[in-house]
Amino acid sequence: MIDEVRRSRAILAKQLIHKMEARQFEACYCETGQEAFDKVCSLMEEGASVTCGGSTTLKQIGIIPYLQGEGAEKYHYVDRGLAKTAQEKREVFSKAALCDYYLMSSNAITLDGELVNVDGVGNRVAALCFGPANVILVASLNKVTKDVKSAMDRVRNMAAPPNALRLNCDTPCAATGSCGNCLKPDCICADLLVTRFSRTPGRIKVILVGEELGY
């Protein structure tokens, strides 16, 4: 990474951390995905129950493969990927609500420190709102936007299309690459959530990453 870019991202992260701490989020900055991986692991005690929402970012930093493999000896991982039927998925999502740690990313983050997320099923935004004792959110600085309005535009036109393709959804954004404001059965923009404050101090732990990750 070019030194000026590295320094600029660190400065931005410092400003965001200040804003997030005022919202009772616990926040820190990691320059690389590997550093973010190490930080996630350091935040979870051995024997803890852990699960996650669908996230390209978490896959990229290696935390999901780790929890499915050697990490299974250290943590109790509730693997949503093993659920095949609708009933099995419901059971996994119910177990997730009682986990010690819920891992996820964020579709966007505003310059004022708000977390902006859009969900299809709603399990991810539900866990962010209530349930798991701790939420660890890993998000790269390429997801930072000016405000909620620009965050929603980013989510719908930059994050949703590749996510729809990843999930094989039959939606206009999967076909055109931009939001069609659809009401299709496969719509992945069913639930819109802006998280502006944590009533439980430190429950939401945000790891900002300088390396570009996710959509």
Q: What is the DSSP string of 126-170?
A: HHHHSSSSEEEEEEEGGGEESSHHHHHHHIIIIIHHHHHHHTT--
CA dist 171 and 186 (Å) reads 6
| pLDDT above 80 for 83 | no
Instruction: Label residue 92 exposed, middle or buried (CB < 10 Å: 0-12, 13-18, 19+).
Output: middle
CA dist list (Å): 160 to 14, 89, 97, 108, 172: 28, 22, 25, 11, 10
| pLDDT above 90 for 82 | no
Residue 197 CA, distance from chain mean position: 16
- pLDDT tens digits, 126-171: 999 999 999 999 999 999 999 999 999 999 999 999 999 998 999 9
pLDDT band of residue 54 (cuts 50, 70, 90) is: confident
Q: What is the mean pLDDT of residues 84-103?
A: 88
Note the pLDDT of residue 99. Answer: 96
Q: Token pair of 159, please?
A: 């994050």
Note the pLDDT of residue 53. Answer: 86
Place of tokens 């499915």: 68
Domains of the chain in start order, with CATH, are 3-209 (3.40.50.10420)
Q: Token pair of 30, please?
A: 């990691």
Q: What is the mean pLDDT of residues 4-13?
A: 93
Give percent of the chain above pLDDT 90: 85
Note the pLDDT of residue 160. Answer: 93
| pLDDT above 80 for 84 | no
Note the pLDDT of residue 2. Answer: 77
- pLDDT tens digits, 15-45: 999 999 999 999 999 999 999 999 999 999 9
Its pTM stands at: 0.94
Note the pLDDT of residue 90. Answer: 84
Mean pLDDT of the chain: 94
Note the pLDDT of residue 86. Answer: 82
Q: What is the mean pLDDT of residues 185-205?
A: 96
